[in-house]
Homo-oligomer: A and B are copies of this chain.
């Protein structure tokens, strides 16, 4: 089958025709061949999610895996992870409701958003949620009033170098401020649990976690009694990037933990999203039009920035592509979406090559498109429907 693993040896990553179509044993290809669904659509193989979860559990055996629901909130995906025993990192009341409806226990839900309305905190607490992120005093005081006794962890701001989608300065505070906030948490009757950080999504440098673990150590030193480090997300999916294998990340994280915590090892949380579901999905699209301008060959797909490919903003995420005409001679293209919006261009600086024989009506599959796609779709921009998701289970078909 087509190798969708993050460590795949992709022969020609920047060619845009990274791999030939997988043999018919690929359950996603089987599904697409059999049902010929209208494009664009996303197909997710739950067996890949399951495999990724197990690999991560092996790689970080004492890390509690909190799936970042935002990466793909499809009920089948969340339900699969409930069955596997995952915990859940949620951003909103909507995500809490989703997890609870699919059988997650409230004590396995971490409200990871530092930006929370008072009534949403109260609601989560009433539903049994007892883990909350924070990074500011106003939020902490709301938590103390609406979720008394809950465990809180404070997010510190760390260097995101190496990430394809760095966070900027929206979240997190300094280690000194984190220590002061966690001290205040205890005074306010909350349980000052630990420290979180995020190394930046699609983090290609396995050493990047060192910054956060070192920062966490500083907070632990300033505020004894803390007992948890939340390693955040950042583990990669297989785009055209050359992402190192999971084992490299696990080894570098382990080295940093040993360096800074020695045998006083904290509880560990990890919040994978993209890493668990990205490579599990194939987004099938259709070529709407191929046209030649004076400078470029433009390939317009029926998928664009507003109906699923939001992460192509700034060309941050560069998906691997597969076409029906792979093997034919290729040439450079500009890739764009179907709307009347000038910003609905996927790749014009990143070099993509596609078969010169490609034409309207041909299919183009975007590989490793299981994360941060369907749930970003607009409701109806330009009159185009949101991206639908179908789930298959490769294990049931083999």
How far is B345's CA from A108's CA once the two chains are assembled, in angstroms? 29
A95, B384: Cα distance in complex, Å: 8
List chain B residues, Cβ under 8 A from A338.
Answer: 92, 113, 115
Best-surrounded residue of A293, A295, A298, A340 (most CB of chain B within 10 A): A340
Say yes or no: is A339 at the interface (Cβ < 8 Å to chain B): yes
Instruction: List B contacts of A345 (CB < 8 A).
Output: 168, 170
Q: A381 contacts B385, CB within 8 Å?
A: no
Tell me, rounded to whole Å, the shortest Cβ–Cβ distance linking A394 to chain B.
Answer: 26
Question: Chain B residues near A329 (CB, 8 Å)?
Answer: none
A361 to B345, CA, bound (A): 38
Bound complex: CA of A169 vs CA of B300, how far in Å? 13
Contacts of A93 in B (CB 8 A): 383
| Contact between B378 and A376, CB atoms less than 8 A apart | yes
Given A336-B170, A379-B377, A383-B73, A165 and B342 contact (CB-CB distance below 8 Å): yes
Q: Which residues of B contact A139 (CB under 8 A)?
A: 289, 291
In the complex, what's the smallest C-beta–C-beta distance from A387 to chain B, in angstroms?
9
A69, A288, A296, A310 — most chain B CB neighbours (10 Å): A288
CA distance A296 to B136 in the complex (A): 13
Among residues 103 to 143 in chain A, which have CB atoms less than 8 Å away from a CB atom of chain B?
112-118, 135-139, 142
Contact A313 B384 (CB under 8 A): no
Contact A360:B289 (CB < 8 A) given known A340-B70, A380-B94: no
Contact of A289 among B136, B313, B381 (CB under 8 A): B136
Say if the beta carbon of A382 comes within 8 Å of chain B.
Answer: yes
Interface membership of A207, Cβ < 8 A: no
Q: Mark A152-196, 1 if CB is under 8 A from B, else 0.
A: 000000000000011111110110000000000000000000000
A214 at the interface (CB under 8 A from B): no
Min C-beta distance of A313 to chain B, whole Å: 7
Q: Indicate if the CB atoms of A95 and B382 lie closer than 8 Å.
A: yes
In the complex, the answer to whether B383 meets A288 with C-beta atoms within 8 Å is no
Total copies of this chain within the assembly: 2
A21 at the A/B interface (Cβ < 8 Å)?
no
Interface size class of A (residues with CB under 8 A): 35 or more
Return chain B residues, CB-CB under 8 Å to A170.
298, 336, 342, 344-345
Could you say which residues of chain B place their CB within 8 Å of the CB of A167?
342
Q: Is A382 within 8 A of B92, CB to CB?
A: yes
The residue in chain B whose Cβ has the minimal distance to the Cβ of A273 is B340
The interface residues of chain B lying within 8 Å CB-to-CB of A102 are none
Residues of B within 8 A of A300 (CB): 115
Contact (Cβ within 8 A) A171 B382: no
A359 to chain B, nearest CB (A): 7
Q: Is A386 part of the contact surface with B, judged by Cβ < 8 Å? A: yes
A113-B340, A170-B344, A377-B379 known; 16 new pairs, CB 8 Å cut-off, are A73-B383, A92-B338, A94-B384, A113-B338, A117-B288, A138-B289, A166-B342, A168-B342, A168-B343, A169-B293, A170-B298, A170-B336, A376-B378, A377-B378, A378-B378, A379-B386
Q: Which 6 A-B pairs have the closest CB atoms?
A: A94-B383, A167-B342, A136-B291, A95-B383, A92-B383, A91-B382
Residue pairs across A and B with Cβ atoms less than 8 A apart, 29 shown, are A70-B339, A70-B383, A73-B380, A91-B339, A92-B338, A93-B383, A94-B385, A98-B383, A112-B340, A113-B338, A115-B288, A115-B300, A115-B336, A117-B360, A135-B291, A136-B289, A137-B291, A138-B291, A138-B359, A165-B342, A167-B342, A169-B293, A170-B298, A170-B345, A174-B294, A375-B381, A377-B378, A378-B378, A379-B386
